[in-house]
Structure 1
Amino acid sequence: MRQRNLAHRISAALIALSAAAALLAGSAVPASAAGTGPFNAEYTTTFRLDDHTIYRPANLPEDERLPIVVWGNGACRADGTMFENFLLEIASHGFLVIANGRPGGSGSTDSDMLTEAIDWAVEEDDRWFSSYRGHLDTDAIAVMGQSCGGIEAYEASDDDRVDTTVLWNSGMLSDLDNWRLRRLEAPIAYFTGGESDIAHENALDDWDRIPSELPAFLGSLDVGHTGTFGEPNGGEYGRVGAEWLKWQLKGDQQARQEFVGSDCGLCSGDWEVRQRNLQ
């Protein structure tokens, strides 16, 4: 009887340890909509960055490093799965995407959380025993966000490590903050939802105020302020967002054709396009 009780205690202890380990490491969630890219995508969490949600290929590739994309949610909401379909799509094309907020989280975020996400990724790529060690391209980093999250992206974009800034349905809310536009140095893209998008005019105003020498793209699609994020794989926003990041962070020349020149891929469809210094 004692041996039986001991076995039960050992079994219970092992189960408790396994549960604790899972809590510390975070748990990956298989996605029903895993993206159209070459990698099956999922999202997960980690106690080392416990107020964020991490989107990644389920199996980290051995033959290429993943560029880093940090994401600010609309309404500056701390829900890391608020844009799940869209972010899984980006991750499926070989990116590590870190969204502000835990899965299904609540509360508010700020731009410091984007910088924290970059710091974490850079450290994980170099940390012994990290599952990400040697798998991340810390020289290829994007900051992105939708609506209020786009303002967070603006604020975090003065980090010298940032290689491109991407605003979705977003623009400066006050002329008092226009000084942030003048300090932009990395290529920038704006994607809006057309005239019915409440942020469309703000983005156009910002376009006229950013440094004249800055490589910039503005695409407008008549889908309103909420865009196509909730569609399977993020809809057209997911497709175009992945292409911009593939060009800017991976040097993909085929993706470049979507944005450059009078005959660009987005120039001949439903998008209204503006280009500057992209040659």
Structure 2
Amino acid sequence: MRLRSAILSVLTLAGVLTATATGTAGAAPPSVLGGSGPYSAGYETTLRLYNHTIYRPNTLPAGVKLPIVAWGNGACRADGTWFQNILTEWASHGFLVIANGRPGGSGSTDSDMLVDAIDWAVAENSRRTSKYYGRIDTTKIAVMGQSCGGIETYEVAADPRLTTTVLWNSGMLNDSQNHLLQRLRVPIAYFIGGPTDIAYENAMDDWRRLPAGLPAFMGNLDVGHFGTFDQPNGGEFGRVGGHWLKWHLKGDPASKAQFVGPDCGLCATDWDVMQKNLG
């Protein structure tokens, strides 16, 4: 669509995110170890979801169901390991994170791929011969993405299965698309790179147009459009995003405290924080 093409053009001119993307994916155990969470995590691929990369704990934890996180890459780029650091980090905290694109892939993605990821995870949870059988929490689902991947997130935000949506360095580029904001129905977070982020003005404009009563969080960290994705474990973006996921998909009260109230955990830090309808 025209909006996605505009984002692709901006990112091509601005340069490419420098997140590391090493390793090749096989069909069996995840091929990358990492993350600061309780479960060493990595990624794998499957023929059942061929155009995606799946991040998960290397050993599926007994008695723990993994909430679903569907991820759209910046530039709508079909490389499932472009954001490897931060996605591995979240998987290490007990999430099933599914990125658009194969490891090291090329070409472009679209928002339908986020829905495909969710559909696959739900099906795997019910498929008796799947290693994920009964191990996925299909009632807790996040969709999120960076830059163009954030626009993909907007495009699927009306899916009734979603628990939360998150935009990273992203916002509408064209007012003709503002109607998508009215489809938002679950808590949303924006993590933006401050005034030097090319998405800053658009994200702030979206913030002002959110539906009345929608729970929302806006966090700006002065790191620019490429955030901290290339840092170990995704840096500060990885830490804060992990807390948002643990609050909304696992009900963790300590993580909730990072975002809620005048004395929230991020309120007295380098983050510039805004809140709406958070309780």
Q: Point out the structure with the larger helix share.
A: 1
* 1:184 aligned residue: 184
Secondary structure in 1 aligned to 2:94? coil
Cα distance in structure 2, aligned partners of 1:143 and 1:175: 22
What are the superposed Cα offsets for residues 33-66 of structure 1, whole Å, 9 maximum, x if unpaired? x110000001000000000000000011112100
Q: How does 1:24-43 map to 2 (within 5 A)?
A: 26-32=27-33, 34-43=34-43
Unaligned runs of 5+ in 2: 1-25
Cα offset for 1:30?
A: 3.2
Cα offset for 1:274?
A: 0.2
Cα offset for 1:29?
A: 3.9
What are the superposed Cα offsets for residues 190-216 of structure 1, whole Å, 9 maximum, x if unpaired? 000000000011110000111120000
* 1:96 aligned residue: 96
- Does the 8 A contact of 1:28 with 1:45 survive in 2? no
* 1:196 aligned residue: 196
TM-score, structure 1 normalization: 0.90
Cα distance in structure 2, aligned partners of 1:84 and 1:29: 12
* 1:125 aligned residue: 125
Unaligned runs of 5+ in 1: 1-24
Aligned length: 255
Secondary structure in 1 aligned to 2:129? coil
Secondary structure in 2 aligned to 1:30? coil
* 1:226 aligned residue: 226
Secondary structure in 1 aligned to 2:75? helix
Cα distance in structure 2, aligned partners of 1:251 and 1:29: 27
Cα distance in structure 1, aligned partners of 2:50 and 2:238: 26
What are the superposed Cα offsets for residues 105-157 of structure 1, whole Å, 9 maximum, x if unpaired? 00000000000000000000000100100000000000000000000011111
One-letter amino acid of the structure 1 residue matched with residue 153 of structure 2: A
- Does the 8 A contact of 2:30 with 2:41 survive in 1? no
Cα offset for 1:100?
A: 0.1
Cα distance in structure 2, aligned partners of 1:64 and 1:47: 25
What are the superposed Cα offsets for residues 6-27 of structure 1, whole Å, 9 maximum, x if unpaired? xxxxxxxxxxxxxxxxxxx814
* 1:113 aligned residue: 113
* 1:216 aligned residue: 216
* 2:82 aligned residue: 82
Q: Which has the larger radius of gyration?
A: 1
Q: Percent identity?
A: 65
Q: Is 1:278 matched up with 2:271?
A: no
Task: Give RMSD over aligned pairs.
Answer: 1.1
* 1:17 aligned residue: none
Q: How does 1:221-260 map to 2 (within 5 A)?
A: 221-260=221-260
Cα offset for 1:97?
A: 0.2
* 1:164 aligned residue: 164
* 1:155 aligned residue: 155
TM-score, structure 2 normalization: 0.90
Cα distance in structure 1, aligned partners of 2:28 and 2:138: 24
Secondary structure in 1 aligned to 2:267? helix
